[in-house]
Amino acid sequence: MRAHKPLLIVLSGPSGVGKDAVLATMKELGRSFHYVVTATTRPRRTREKNGVHYHFLSPEEFQQMIDGGQLLEWASVYGNYYGVPKDEVARGLAKGMDVIVKVDVQGAANIKKLLPQAVFIFLLPPSMDELERRLRQRSSETVTVLALRLMKAKEEIESLPLFDYVITSRQGELESVVGQIGAIVAAEKCRVRPRVIEL
Amino acid sequence: MRAHKPLLIVLSGPSGVGKDAVLATMKELGRSFHYVVTATTRPRRTREKNGVHYHFLSPEEFQQMIDGGQLLEWASVYGNYYGVPKDEVARGLAKGMDVIVKVDVQGAANIKKLLPQAVFIFLLPPSMDELERRLRQRSSETVTVLALRLMKAKEEIESLPLFDYVITSRQGELESVVGQIGAIVAAEKCRVRPRVIEL
């Protein structure tokens, strides 16, 4: 009787909160979304695959996408560029699929300005101590980057009012987080005033 | 980290759409809510229990509750009075439980004025033909009451914009409706701006 347009879900939160782990669990559990692959100039980590985890681009290639207006949003984070290719989002919506995009908090704020009708979800660490512990586990973090990320995380949590929903991301409770995202999507599809994304 | 206050869920929709069946299924499935028992002056139907399905009151008793300011809302529908006892709602919230109240559309509109922070859910029939079929199945409906209810239902559907969520109530899909209510409640508990009910 009422066909809802597909949703654009923006999943954000501080570095180390577990955004990638949540997305990986959603994929494992077969949650049907169009998962947007972000473009980045940051070095590929071991086990990351080009075109799967990120589109790994050279600074020159990234600049071409900016110049061509091909990015929905982009930002420089700790000296690396991250961007959301417009065509990835458009392709998902055109297929009638809900689109989910993972961005840092600055990125979410940028998307909010362009597409306030997206659904903005903030992943919150259970505590700053827990966030620090998780960041330390990443062998890729130097001491300076770790300190920067923690300082940044405190700032980012101040951006919570920009978001629609907040989910606390507890260690070992990834499926619960995924369940809450599922509930948010199901509830949004029942809204009397549906969100309409126009790219 | 973030303790949400209990929610007040207002479940409404035209007569015959299946509000009672949905609530019965929620109870069968053990969904943990404080289910508000409505007060009414309408005659008890076979299989209805006083204090369980409704508080069946005489017109005089009902008038006393109005005069005493003991009803959150009340309305006259097809010549019978229906009202939501305030203490039922307050008791549920005080226990920290999400409270669910079933009201007709006029009742929901009244509660919306007093408590806009409640969560308003509209049960929509799949079609007017289907609604008519369901009303005809109720042996308690006379032809005149049936015609009145159908006319009223058309008007009531115009009130959809007052509501937050709409769920289509399909024959044989009660568990799906209950699932959608569960998703709405779970999503509401993730809201960055929680709803606060102050009676």
Q: Identify the band that residue B16 occupies on the pLDDT scale cut at 50, 70 and 90.
A: confident
| Count of residues in chain A | 199
CA nearest neighbour of A41 among A5, A69, A78, A16: A78
Phi-psi region of B172 (alpha: psi -120 to 50; beta: other; left: phi over 0): left
CA distance B19 to B169: 9
pLDDT of residue B160 exceeding 90: yes
For a pLDDT cut of 90, what percent of chain A falls above it? Answer: 71
Q: Is pLDDT above 70 for A1?
A: no
What single-letter DSSP state applies at residue B37? Answer: P
Residue A102, H or E segment: strand A99-102
Does the pLDDT at position B5 exceed 90? no
Residue in chain B lying closest to A167 (CA): B190
- What pLDDT, on a 0 to 100 scale, did the predictor assign at position B65? 96
Is residue A80 within 8 Å of residue A94, measured between CB atoms? no
Angle between helices A128-137 and A143-157 (to 10 degrees): 150
Residues of B in contact with A168 (CB under 8 A): 1-2
Residue in the block written with tokens 């006379």: B142
CA separation for the pair B61, B71 (Å, rounded)? 12
Do B168 and A124 make contact, defined as CB atoms within 8 angstroms?
A: no
Instruction: Tell me what pLDDT residue B3 has.
Output: 64
ipTM of this complex:
0.87
Q: What is the SS3 assignment for A114?
A: helix
CB atoms within 10 A of CB B94: 13
Contact: A187, B191; criterion CB under 8 Å = no
Verify whether the Cβ–Cβ distance B192 to A161 is below 8 Å: yes
Chain A closest-CA separation from residue B129 CA (Å)? 13
- SS3 category, B122: strand
Burial class (CB in 10 A: 0-12, 13-18, 19+), A146: middle
Using an 8 Å CB-CB cutoff, list chain B residues near A2: 124, 166, 168
β partners of residue A120: A10
Per CB-CB distance under 8 Å, the chain B contacts of A121 are: 190
Mean per-residue pLDDT, B16-36: 94
Superfamily of chain region B8-188: P-loop containing nucleotide triphosphate hydrolases (3.40.50.300)
What is the rounded distance in angstroms from the CA atom of residue A186 to the CA atom of residue A178?
A: 12
Residue A16 has pLDDT above 50, yes or no: yes
Partner-chain contact A184 B192, CB within 8 Å: no
Backbone angles phi, psi at A44, to 5 degrees: -70, 135
Look at strands B38-40 and B80-85 and give their pairing: antiparallel
> How would you classify residue B51: left for phi > 0, otherwise alpha for psi between -120 and 50, otherwise beta?
left
Percentage of chain B modeled with pLDDT above 90: 70
Mean pLDDT, residues B65-76 taken together? 93
Model confidence pLDDT, tens digit, residues A47-87: 999 998 899 999 999 999 999 999 999 988 778 998 999 99
Mean pLDDT, rounded, for A115-136: 92
Distances (CA, A) of B128 to A52, B19, B141, B158: 48, 16, 17, 13
Question: Does A192 contact B167 at a Cβ distance shorter than 8 Å?
Answer: no
Say whether B191 sits in a helix, a strand or coil: strand
Average the pLDDT over each of B61-65, B113-117, B133-137 and give the range with the smallest value.
B133-137
Lowest mean pLDDT, pick from A129-143, B31-45, B89-103 = A129-143
In this prediction, residue B138 has a pLDDT band, given cuts at 50, 70 and 90, of confident
Q: What number is the average pLDDT over the span A42-51?
A: 92
Chain B contacts to A (CB-CB under 8 A): 1-2, 121-122, 124, 126-127, 160-161, 163-168, 179-180, 182-184, 186-188, 190-193
Predicted confidence at residue B34, as pLDDT, reads 96
Q: Determine the average pLDDT of the residues in B66-95.
A: 92
- The domain locations on chain A are 8-188
